[in-house]
């Protein structure tokens, strides 16, 4: 994966990191608020239903107790027993003695002239009759719940079924409905029958309608359905409270992760990683600057020079990216790429012109690299070239430690490669150890060629090279005067803008083909 791809991925992750924790905190706040809201609604519904069951169980105990009376029906003793039951059981409003659904007497009346009670709407699994009725002894038009045995009935106010105070932060409306008759038994507020219709046609126990959350609990044994409804307005307040807790946590998570990823992104966008990406993407190009024999005027080869193009069409200067590669440990990868590119660019051309050579710049660390030796040998064999066609340029820093450099240079020379000393004279100790260098060609730096008119150092360098039997290449030749001076002083080769700038492979091969014959070199008009 390229560094550019990684930058894109990290940038995308960076955006997600900014959004996800905040979004997650909002989601958690909403979820927590909703869970709290629904749990409290469920808990309240359960409490109401438990209370309803408690009321019904109390009614059954009252019936069981009055059914134990064995005396004369509607006698003073019987009336007293019914009054005691009505008084003793909190939720029992009245106790009635019936004969085949015909009320005869009650805890309120010694005798009753009420009409027959309607047939029971439901028979409980344990044998009790249950129904709703407005029939009573005191003339009130009020629906009462009736629970009866064979001979007695207890009357219960339906409101007692739902007489439970909510403990949440919001109002809850409760309605108790008969599932057999769809009749409202009790409610603590206005009840919309359409809500029960919705509940009947849905198996869901919870649903929303018109800004209200409804919770439905069914109790088939009793034939009852409990519907609890709470408006969603207070939920927004709870959500705001939860956001005050979760949102700062989400922001802290976002900022923390953002800081870490920005550091990663900064590293990925650093020159080191950009160059590593350029090497992996093979974006480093190689240009070739011709080398000309001054005696014959014939092109003899070229120096391979790395170029790093940018997306805006500009090039990063080698004076910038070569030191960067050296400092960041990327020179081995860069050298490998340049060597491979040289063979791919000019391998076939060098086959056709065995007298030509290409010089490749090496880093001091490349000298001890076994992989370089293997790569050169492999590529020379693949392209069927002579080792003499690939010269290797080493700066004087490469000779700084003779114990390391000398064996490596000797191996390269034995393999047939010519060794150039590049940038000679620019270091502080050059002149003192020139005689100890094992090399074939000395390159005179452009700074000395520019100062030929002063004739201070350059003549001494030339004389030393002659004494040591080293051929010479003058760099940066730009004028006819410089060329003439160098030729007169015995310098064998030259390169520079006087002949040509560094050229892409196609342009170099075209230029070289035009200037292979002696005396045909023409100055670069550009």
**Cβ atoms within 10 Å, residue 381:** 9
Give the β-pairing of 122-123 and 224-231.
unpaired
Task: Look at residue 5 and tell me if it is in a domain.
Answer: yes
Task: Look at residue 88 and tell me if it is in a domain.
Answer: yes
**Pick from 70-74, 172-176, 274-278, 428-432: least confident:** 428-432
- Per DSSP, 117 falls in state P
∠ CA 215-219-224, nearest 5°, is: 85
Whether 452 and 359 share a structural domain: yes
Whether 361 and 253 share a structural domain: no
- Helix, strand, coil abundance in the chain, percent, nearest 5: 50, 20, 30
Task: Look at residue 103 and tell me if it is in a domain.
Answer: yes
pLDDT at 193: 84
Return the residue matching tokens 């001890």: 368
The DSSP-derived string for 297-329 is --EEEEEEEEEEE-TTS-EE-HHHHHHHHHHTT
What's the full length of the chain, in residues? 526
443 forms bridges with which residues in the sheet?
473
Whether 482 and 346 share a structural domain: yes
**Pick from 89-93, 204-208, 219-223, 303-307: least confident:** 219-223
Task: Look at residue 278 and tell me if it is in a domain.
Answer: yes
Whether 198 and 208 share a structural domain: yes
pLDDT at 454: 67
Predicted TM-score (pTM) of this structure: 0.55
Return the residue matching tokens 């659904």: 101
Count the alpha carbons within 13 Å of 215 in the hemisphere toward its beta carbon.
20
Percent of the chain's residues with pLDDT above 70: 78
Return the residue matching tokens 């997306």: 311
pLDDT at 270: 63
Count the alpha carbons within 13 Å of 420 in the hemisphere toward its beta carbon.
26
Whether 262 and 290 share a structural domain: no
Q: Which of 80-89, 118-127, 229-238, 368-377 has the highest mean pLDDT?
A: 80-89
Look at residues 250, 269, 288 and tell me which one is the last residue of a structural domain.
269
Mean predicted confidence (pLDDT) in 85-110: 93
**Pick from 85-94, 268-277, 330-339, 389-398: least confident:** 268-277
pLDDT confidence tier of residue 391, bands split at 50, 70 and 90: very high
Looking at per-residue confidence, does 162 or 266 come out higher?
A: 162
Mean predicted confidence (pLDDT) in 49-78: 94
**Pick from 38-42, 205-209, 401-405, 424-428: least confident:** 424-428
pLDDT at 438: 78
Instruction: Please provide residue 174's backbone torsions phi and psi, each rounded to the nearest 5 degrees.
Output: -120, 140
pLDDT at 392: 95
Nearest-Å Rg of the Cα atoms of the chain is 52
pLDDT by residue (tens digit) across 328-370?
888 899 999 999 999 999 999 999 999 999 999 998 888 888 8
pLDDT confidence tier of residue 256, bands split at 50, 70 and 90: low
List of residues 6+ apart from 136 with CB closer than 8 A: 94, 114, 142, 144, 155
Whether 492 and 360 share a structural domain: yes
∠ CA 512-514-520, nearest 5°, is: 100
Helices (H), 451-488: 458-467, 480-488
Look at residues 207, 236, 269 and tell me which one is the last residue of a structural domain.
269
Whether 242 and 305 share a structural domain: no
List of residues 6+ apart from 350 with CB closer than 8 A: 356, 357, 358, 383, 385, 389
Q: Which of 71-80, 157-166, 458-467 has the highest mean pLDDT?
A: 71-80
Q: Can you list the pairs that 511-519 forms with residues at least 24 positions away whose Cβ atoms lie under 8 Å?
A: 511/290, 512/290, 512/299, 512/302, 512/349, 512/353, 512/356, 515/290, 515/292, 515/298, 515/299, 516/298, 516/299, 516/353, 517/298, 518/296, 518/297, 518/298, 519/296, 519/297, 519/298
**What total of structural domains would you count in the chain?**
2
pLDDT at 291: 96
CATH number, residue 473: 3.20.20.450
97 forms bridges with which residues in the sheet?
105, 152
Task: Look at residue 522 and tell me if it is in a domain.
Answer: no
Task: Look at residue 437 and tell me if it is in a domain.
Answer: yes
- Cβ(492)–Cβ(294) below 8 Å: yes
Task: Look at residue 526 and tell me if it is in a domain.
Answer: no
Helices (H), 89-232: 193-200
Whether 255 and 339 share a structural domain: no
Domain that holds residue 462: 271-514
- What is the average pLDDT score of the chain? 82
Give 376-409 as a 3 state SS string: HHHHHHHHCCCHHHEEEEEEHHHHCCHHHHHHHH
Whether 129 and 39 share a structural domain: yes
Whether 420 and 362 share a structural domain: yes
Return the residue matching tokens 């044998």: 127
**Could you give the CA distance from residue 350 to residue 343 in angstroms, rounded to a whole number?**
9
Whether 243 and 388 share a structural domain: no
Whether 436 and 300 share a structural domain: yes
Nearest C-alpha neighbor of 496 from the set 306, 289, 222: 289
Task: Look at residue 521 and tell me if it is in a domain.
Answer: no
Look at residues 269, 294, 312 and tell me which one is the last residue of a structural domain.
269
Task: Read off the tokens for 414.
Answer: 């034995």
């Amino acid at each position: 994966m390229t560094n550019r791809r990684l930058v894109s991925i990290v940038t995308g992750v960076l955006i997600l990191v900014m959004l996800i924790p905040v979004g997650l905190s909002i989601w958690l706040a909403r979820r927590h608020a909703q869970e709290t809201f629904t749990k409290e609604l469920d808990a309240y519904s359960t409490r109401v239903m438990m209370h309803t069951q408690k009321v019904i169980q109390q009614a059954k105990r009252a019936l069981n107790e009055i059914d134990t009376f064995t005396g004369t029906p509607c006698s003073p003793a019987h009336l007293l027993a019914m009054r005691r039951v009505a008084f003793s059981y909190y939720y029992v409003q009245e106790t009635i003695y019936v004969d085949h659904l015909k009320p005869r007497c009650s805890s309120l009346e010694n005798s009753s002239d009420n009409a027959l009670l309607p047939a029971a709407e439901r028979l409980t699994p344990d044998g009790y009759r249950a129904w709703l009725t407005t029939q009573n002894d005191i003339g009130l038009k009020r629906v009462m719940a009736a629970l009866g045995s064979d001979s007695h009935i207890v009357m219960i106010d339906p409101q007692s079924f739902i007489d439970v105070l909510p403990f949440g932060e919001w109002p809850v409306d409760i309605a108790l409905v008969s599932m057999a008759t769809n009749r409202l038994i009790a409610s603590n507020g206005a009840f919309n029958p359409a809500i029960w219709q919705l509940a009947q046609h849905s198996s869901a126990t919870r649903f929303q309608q018109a800004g209200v959350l409804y919770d439905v609990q069914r109790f088939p044994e009793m034939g009852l359905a409990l519907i609890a409804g709470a408006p969603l307005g207070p939920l927004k307040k709870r959500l705001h409270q939860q956001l005050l807790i979760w949102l700062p946590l989400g922001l802290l998570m976002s900022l923390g992760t953002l800081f870490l990823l920005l550091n990663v992104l900064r590293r990925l966008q650093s020159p080191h990683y950009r160059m590593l990406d350029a090497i992996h993407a093979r974006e480093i190009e190689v240009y070739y600057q011709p080398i000309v024999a001054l005696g014959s005027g014939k092109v003899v080869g070229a120096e391979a020079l790395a170029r790093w193009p940018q997306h805006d069409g500009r090039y990063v200067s080698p004076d910038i990216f070569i030191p960067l590669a050296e400092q960041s440990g990327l020179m081995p990868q860069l050298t490998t790429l340049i060597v491979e590119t040289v063979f791919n660019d000019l391998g076939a051309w060098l086959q056709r012109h065995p007298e030509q050579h290409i010089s490749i710049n090496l880093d001091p660390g490349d000298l001890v690299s076994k992989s370089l030796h293997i790569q050169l040998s492999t590529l020379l064999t693949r392209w069927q070239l002579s080792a003499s066609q690939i010269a290797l340029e080493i700066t004087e820093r490469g000779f700084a430690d003779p114990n390391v450099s000398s064996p490596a240079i000797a191996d390269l020379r034995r393999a047939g490669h010519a060794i150039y000393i590049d940038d000679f004279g620019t270091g502080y100790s050059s002149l003192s150890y020139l005689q100890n260098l094992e090399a074939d060609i000395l390159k005179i730096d452009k700074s000395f060629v520019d100062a030929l008119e002063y004739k201070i150092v350059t003549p001494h360098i030339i004389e030393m090279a002659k004494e040591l039997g080293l051929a010479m290449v003058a760099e940066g030749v730009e004028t006819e005067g410089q060329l003439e001076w160098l030729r007169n002083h015995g310098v064998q080769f030259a390169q520079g803008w006087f002949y040509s700038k560094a050229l892409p492979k196609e342009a170099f091969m075209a230029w070289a083909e035009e200037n292979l014959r002696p005396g045909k070199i023409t100055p670069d008009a550009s």
